[in-house]
Structure 1
């Protein structure tokens, strides 16, 4: 039994069904386990942040825990959305060029983590790539009072390259707080595994072209490609949409890191990061097949 996941969308997943749900242009495929069909799994989905989020969880508390996870994502959307005029991020973008903006703890955390990946990727990940004036180094973060200011007008921050992963981590924390130890979250194609399915050691994710599944446990895999939303990833250097075939996938312990680094790896390719990268980098070729770099989990097709 196999379930395919689109890079930018999600297909409904029900572990009690035996038919595979197929998608023609999929990047990731999740291997279900027929032996688990009799186990009690709860699956819910909700449209959040412009895409579908689906959570499958095991445990008596699963229904309430999943509801709590969705509520947290909805709260974070009101903080991080660049499309809602009344979101905290939109208010920052309107005012930070003129006076320091006092951030909530949540927005401060995601901006700080964005800054970390921006610096470590040497600018390949840049939340200002789509704004008239580019360069996240012009976003000044003042830790003393958690305030943010822009060095000039024309700067706008878009957290689309990290926000979904950040929300996944927060949703997983809500599940764990309710006692959930086995869950699979799929948010617009990015997958976060909590623990493993009952009776198994890991969830299995297949990248088309790879000879064996990747084993995923307490980790996230994020893909970046143009197959579903051409032009949505922009060059930090030119501000123009990047046009390149294929895609990349990144595996890291947190969904926040995986989301941001998959964007960076799509912009720059996997080679600049391969030597010291602490996660797994995967180049997905349009001709079929994959190329791995970095440190990949046991059970992967290296």
Structure 2
């Protein structure tokens, strides 16, 4: 591992530790009420409020510095991919992880073919993409704020007649399995994804599946919401899509979008039924 790769990993670990620390700090302040400020005044030390403001200013300064790097960073990558504002009929794979699709632009956090953060907005001009595929990414965004922003951005970059194919965990199946006491559903899920000590209860499985109560340090990786077909259709409608078609595994009417098999997560199933919900939307 070279110097910068080591620093990148160290920065990730520090960021996770900071998220945990900030949460615990907020808990301490809630529990202590006015006492820290009273104690600081009695000791003649800096007020807690001033120290918090200083920390906040340092974080905002660092964020501003990093924000200024986004444009050059993305431009360098897009140039390397041969993509400019005149490129058309692009095929974009969002949240690619290790599942790289040939002939597609594979986008994810670093390292990826196009490394970015979808919360920055997608680095493409209006109507530049013919197809967009995202598998098991949407549930990792806060709903409705971040998830809706991404769906609206996808609608923006699609050409008229362009199609987005979305694969998410099917929370309706998980609810049914919990209610029916289907231990096999959760046992098979552990084989696909693992689950801590392997002794998680059905409720623990379900709440993690639905994005309830992730630890602050794991907030980036954890699920933050669970989708059923009704809710995903509503989200797509709110994003501007009018033609929305439920689908199944590898059943797209568009040959270019029959790519579910390239995602191990989308391919996972319990018995003869896949764990995922598949849906497509067409931009008019």
TM bracket (short chain): under 0.3
Q: Indicate the structure with greater strand content.
A: 1
The TM-score normalised by the length of structure 1 is 0.25
Q: Indicate the structure with greater helix content.
A: 2
Which structure has the greater CA radius of gyration?
Answer: 2
